[in-house]
Structure 1
Amino acid sequence: MTRAGRPTRTVLAVDGGNSKTDVALVREDGVVLAAARGGAFLPQTAGVGAAVDVIAETVRQALAPAAGAPPYADHISAYLAGADLPIEEERLRDELIARGYGGSVVVGNDTFALLRAGARDPWGVAVVCGAGINAVGVSPGGEVARFPALGRLSGDWGGGYHLGEEALWHAARAADGRGPATALADAVLACFGTATVEEAVIGLHLGGLQIARLHALVPPLLAAASAGDPVARSLVERQAEEVALLGVVAMRRVGLLGEPCEVVLGGGVLTARDPLLMSLIERRFAECAPHARLVVADVPPIVGAVLLGLDRLGAPPEAYERVRAHFSGAAGRAAGDASGEEVLTAPAG
């Protein structure tokens, strides 16, 4: 197939996350040629080379049995967790270029992919609350606001792992008498299968229990908050405050606070659409950014990586529609949801 008398080009899109790596090979007309999911993308702990090895293995899985030597596509569009700083993006881009995976390479933080996946336009604000928490703002003119997103080192609060830590902290204090009673103590016992909270703490400390399982405390934390547990509710209120604060600050920094602006919400903590958490977020945005239009992305972030790649190729409008339809259908969503999003109406006050 050709366009304007030349061969159709391809994009290899990558969404690298803390728990999985998604890849998709897509023609510039929007036809998805191959896709696959691989392991976690962890450049900070595994190293840049090992993290890119995960991409390579996932690409081979997607293309098998036709996988050969690179290059794999005309353009590589990689949006990755762990690419939190410009220098980290540069190191990952250099590694991908050195391996010859594509003729051109763009590497960015995964929040940019979330924004492109959920927003109607290539600008706006995205807030991700998954294992961690981060945000990005992009103005119509291309001005960008971003955060280091290095956890407590850079002033962050929240995300699934941090919420799990907080739940355990309060459970430990409730169990030994230093803090108020809370249903989170029972949640810890159920999560780790221990007889006491102290046993769970010691197991985590000595390595008998996996520290990564802390994120499993988030659903019972949200349930306890909805059931009226004061300690759990205080944590959910704080999480809502942080989500709104990141979004509002990003809007302000790119000059979007005083006008209509889409705020795309993503990451497992937010896409779970917990009623209490979402209502608190809506209320805080209504108070601080009344022109914001909150959107929960209803297609996976890999869609954003694909669309950003198609932007680079100057793809035709129908290509974008084809990509959204493919991934919406693959996720079992209604064919009529062409936008791939759920809009939240913020309450007045």
Structure 2
Amino acid sequence: MSRIAIDGGQSALRLRVVPGGRVGQGPGHIHGPDNLQQMLSAIRTAADAAGVQDDVEVVALGLTGFPAAREVAESFAKDVAELLRADEVRLTQDMVTAHAGALPDGYGVVVAAGTGLVCLAVDRDGSWHKVDGHGYLFGDSGSAFAIGRAGLVAVQRARDGRGPATKLAETTLDPVLLYKSPTLVDDVARFAPKVLRCAAEGDTVAAELVVRAAGDIAETIGTAAGTLAGEGPVPVAYVGGLFDGADEQLLAPVRAALPPRAQLIKAAGTSLDGAERLATNSPGPYADLIITHRRL
């Protein structure tokens, strides 16, 4: 039987069938009371797109919308098992699959920066520490949402005359209309590339926002690295859509603000690769971070 890896982010849910590598995609995480049902629907959509028809041996999922209550997570894992006719479901947070994909050795820090932002530090003894990942209202400092929101605030300030002129204000978007959007968080995050682009073109306001975000990211990484034992260098892999295409524009100020111990490196793989690793191998250092359901 096949195994299935799932990476459920805020912008999209991606599924991969192993072996074979067939892939499918569904809608991302939606904030609201029906988010788990919507996530099941997204998994079904992705599975159909990947041509999943037969019973499945193991499904490993890393989800942005991982349920906070254990009993809810266990119930959701059972629902996934029934949906995909899986013998076993391994359910965890997307930060865990990001770590498993980026650092095959299982030691170090991974900063996952997309719509949201979270750091996971895993020590050599398997102990772990999560930093940020508190959501768009109370955390996710330096994330695409945070950058997008700051950029849209700058747009409104410039249009009001309360703030300096900026190329950001040339957008045809009316930020106020986003209040009623059911995909508000994703919509706001999608303005981050505009901020990065304007910063690269020399817009002072946008450049200040990028530097501020880089400082927030470096603070989170430094905090995570500081939780690991010893004083030696700590590998810090960066993953997520925010870093895609940003290159040194974002990485350079992040690197400059980091403590010497934190060493930025390229990730060995993606969150989907990490989900595949958890679907095809023993949990290893991530055992305490995974909820497992087995069908009788």
* Structure 1, gaps ≥5 residues long: 1-8, 193-199, 315-349
For the Cα contact (< 8 Å) 1:20–1:39, is it kept in 2? yes
Letter in 2 for 1:245: E
User: Does structure 1 retain, via aligned residues, the 8 Å contact 2:11–2:186?
Assistant: no
Unaligned runs of 5+ in 2: 285-296
For 1:79, the aligned partner's letter is G
3-state secondary structure, aligned to 2:242: helix
TM-score (norm: length of structure 2): 0.83
**Alignment partners' CA distance in 2, 1:93 and 1:267:** 25
Does the CA contact (< 8 Å) of 2:109 and 2:225 recur in 1?
A: yes
The equivalent residue for 1:215 is 189
Q: 1:15 to 1:211 in 2, by over 3 A?
A: closer
Measure, in 2, the Cα distance between the counterparts of 1:182 and 1:248: 32
Deviations 1:58-80 (A, max 9, x none): 2233235xx14xxx322221111
Given candidates 160, 166, 177, the residue that maps to 1:203 is 177
1:44 deviation in Å? 4.5
Q: Measure, in 2, the Cα distance between the counterparts of 1:211 and 1:307.
A: 29
Query: Residue type of the partner of 1:283?
Result: A
Q: How far off is 1:150 after superposition?
A: 2.9
String of CA shifts for 1:196-232, please: whole Å, max 9, x gaps: xxxx24433566x977433342222112223333321
The one-letter code of the counterpart of 2:77 is R
Contact 2:151 2:191 survives alignment (8 Å): yes
Give the corresponding residue for 2:91. 107
Of 237, 241, 247, which residue of structure 2 is paired with 1:268?
Answer: 241
Q: Taking CA–CA contacts closer than 8 Å with sequence separation of 6 or more, which of the two structures ends up with the larger relative contact order?
A: 2
The answer to whether the Cα contact below 8 Å between 2:3 and 2:279 also exists between their aligned partners in 1 is: yes
CA distance in 2, matches of 1:81, 1:264: 19
Is the alpha carbon distance of 1:92 and 1:300 closer, same or farther for their aligned partners in structure 2, counting shifts above 3 Å?
A: same
Which residue of the partner structure matches residue 119 of structure 1?
Answer: 103
In structure 2, the partner of 1:25 is 17
- What number of residue pairs does the alignment pair up? 282
- Of 137, 141, 147 in structure 1, the residue corresponding to residue 121 of structure 2 is 137
Q: Distance in 2 between matches of 1:155 and 1:41?
A: 17
Letter in 2 for 1:82: G
Corresponding residue number in structure 2 for 1:39: 27
Q: How does 1:1-349 map to 2 (within 5 A)?
A: 10-26=2-18, 31-32=19-20, 34-42=22-30, 44=32, 46-63=34-51, 67-68=53-54, 72-83=55-66, 85=68, 87=70, 89-97=73-81, 99=83, 101-147=85-131, 149-151=133-135, 153-186=137-170, 188-189=171-172, 192=173, 200-205=174-179, 212-255=186-229, 258-285=231-258, 288=259, 290-297=260-267, 299-312=269-282
Mapped partners of 1:247, 1:148: distance in 2: 10
| Partners of 1:222 and 1:274 within 8 A in 2 | no
Contact (CA 8 Å) 2:104, 2:268: kept in 1 or not? no
In the other structure, the counterpart of 1:341 is none
Alpha-carbon separation, structure 2, partners of 1:156 and 1:211: 12
User: Which stretch shifts more, 236-245 or 216-225?
Assistant: 216-225
Q: CA deviation at 1:95?
A: 2.8
Give the 4+ runs in structure 1 shifted more than 6 A. Answer: none
> CA shift at 1:14, angstroms?
0.9
Kept after mapping to 2: 8 A contact 1:43/1:50: no
2:142 and 2:214 in contact (8 A); partners too: no
